[in-house]
Amino acid sequence: MRKESVSIRLAGPQVSGKALPLIALITLTGLSLAAFAVFWAVRQSDAAAIERQLQMTERSVRGIVRELSLQQEVVAVWDDPVLQLNKSPLDTQWLDENLGSWLTRTYGHDQVYILNTRNEPVFAAADGAPVDTRTFNQVEVDLGSHLAELREQQGQFLKKSTESAPDGKHLTSGRAVYDAHLLKLIGRPAAVSAMRIVPHSDAVTQQPGSEFILVSVRFLDGAFLRQLSERNLIEGLRFSPTGHTDSEEVSVPLRSDMGSLIGYLVWKPETPGTKILGMIGPAGALLSLLILALMGLLLGWLGRAMSALQRMVVELRASEAQAQHLAFHDVLTGLPNRALFDDRLDQTLARTQRGEKVSVLMLDLDRFKHVNDTLGHHAGDSLIREFAGRLQKLLRSSDTLARLGGDEFAIIQTGIAGDKDIDALCNRILAAVRQPFDVLGHQAFVGISIGIASAPDAGSDRVEIMRKADIALYRAKAEGRGCYRTFTAEMDETVKVRGSIEEELRDALAAGEGLEVAYQPQVAGAGKPVVGLEALVRWRHPTRGMILPDQFIPVAEQTGLISQVGEWVFRDACATSRQWPNLFISVNLSPVQFRVEGFAERMIKIARESGTDPGRIELEITEGVLLEDGGQTAQTLSALRSAGFRIALDDFGTGYSSLGYLHRYQVDKIKIDRSFVSSLGKEDSATAIVGAIIALGQAMNLTVTAEGVETHEQERFLRSAGCDELQGYRYSKALSKEQVARLLDHASQPEKKSVLMVSPVTS
How many other C-beta atoms can be found within 10 angstroms of the C-beta atom of residue 52? 13
Q: Does residue 529 share a domain with residue 473? A: no
Q: Does residue 466 share a domain with residue 561? A: no
Q: Which of 267, 298, 317 is the last residue of a domain?
A: 267
Which residue positions in the chain have pLDDT lower than 50?
1-13, 15, 155-171, 750-763
Q: Looking at the domain assignment, is residue 552 inside a domain? A: yes
Q: Looking at the domain assignment, is residue 379 inside a domain? A: yes
Q: Is 239 helix (H, G, I), strand (E, B) or coil?
A: strand
Q: Looking at the domain assignment, is residue 56 inside a domain? A: no
Q: Looking at the domain assignment, is residue 648 inside a domain? A: yes
Nearest to 52 by CA among 278, 224, 269: 269
Facing residues of 485 across strands?
Answer: 451
Q: Does residue 515 share a domain with residue 436? A: no
Q: Does residue 534 share a domain with residue 453? A: no
CATH number at residue 446: 3.30.70.270
Q: What domain count does the chain have?
A: 3
Q: Looking at the domain assignment, is residue 299 inside a domain? A: no
Looking at residue 105, its amino acid is R
CATH number at residue 655: 3.20.20.450
Query: pLDDT per residue over 141-165, tens digit each?
Result: 777 766 776 666 554 444 333 344 4
Cα distances (Å, whole numbers) of residue 295 to 26, 28, 100: 11, 10, 75
Q: Please list, in sequence order, all residues whose beta carbon lies within 8 angstroms of the beta carbon of residue 580, skipping any fewer than 6 positions away.
A: 533, 740, 744
Residue 433 in contact with residue 387, Cβ under 8 Å? Answer: yes
260-296 burial, b at 16+ Cβ within 10 Å, e below that, comes to eebbbbbbebbbebbeebeeeeeeeeeeeeebeeebe
Q: Does residue 464 share a domain with residue 542? A: no
Nearest to 196 by CA among 185, 187, 207, 184: 207
- Helix-helix angle 2-76:272-327, to 10 degrees: 150
How many other C-beta atoms can be found within 10 angstroms of the C-beta atom of residue 652? 26
Q: Which of 215, 245, 267 is the last residue of a domain?
A: 267
> What is the extent of the structural domain holding 527?
509-747
Nearest to 523 by CA among 263, 303, 231, 743: 743
Q: Please list, in sequence order, all residues whose beta carbon lies within 8 angstroms of the beta carbon of residue 380, skipping any fewer than 6 positions away.
A: 368, 371, 372, 439
Query: pLDDT per residue over 445-464, tens digit each?
Result: 899 999 999 988 888 888 88
Q: Does residue 408 share a domain with residue 446? A: yes
How many other C-beta atoms can be found within 10 angstroms of the C-beta atom of residue 416? 16
d(CA 296, CA 293) in angstroms, rounded, equals 5
Q: pTM value? A: 0.47
179-192 burial, b at 16+ Cβ within 10 Å, e below that, comes to bbbbbbbeebbbbb
Query: pLDDT per residue over 32-80, tens digit each?
Result: 787 777 778 777 877 777 778 777 777 777 778 888 888 888 898 999 9
Q: Does residue 387 share a domain with residue 513? A: no
Nearest to 584 by CA among 662, 665, 524: 524
Q: Does residue 687 share a domain with residue 602? A: yes
d(CA 603, CA 570) in angstroms, rounded, equals 8
Residue 469 in contact with residue 361, Cβ under 8 Å? Answer: yes
How many other C-beta atoms can be found within 10 angstroms of the C-beta atom of residue 710? 14
Q: Looking at the domain assignment, is residue 109 inside a domain? A: yes
Q: Looking at the domain assignment, is residue 120 inside a domain? A: yes
Greatest distance between any 2 Cα atoms in the chain: 155
Taking the C-alpha atoms of 398, 403, 409 and 410 in order, what is their torsion angle to the nearest 10 degrees? -40
Q: Please list, in sequence order, all residues whose beta carbon lies within 8 angstroms of the beta carbon of residue 120, skipping any fewer than 6 positions away.
A: none
β-pairing, 725-726 vs 515-524, is antiparallel
d(CA 486, CA 465) in angstroms, rounded, equals 12
Helices (H) and strands (E) in the chain, counts: 24, 26
Q: Which of 212, 246, 267 is the last residue of a domain?
A: 267
Q: Looking at the domain assignment, is residue 622 inside a domain? A: yes
Q: Does residue 471 share a domain with residue 541? A: no
Q: Does residue 212 share a domain with residue 99? A: yes
Q: Does residue 612 share a domain with residue 563? A: yes
Q: Does residue 572 share a domain with residue 621? A: yes
Provide the pLDDT for residue 292.
78
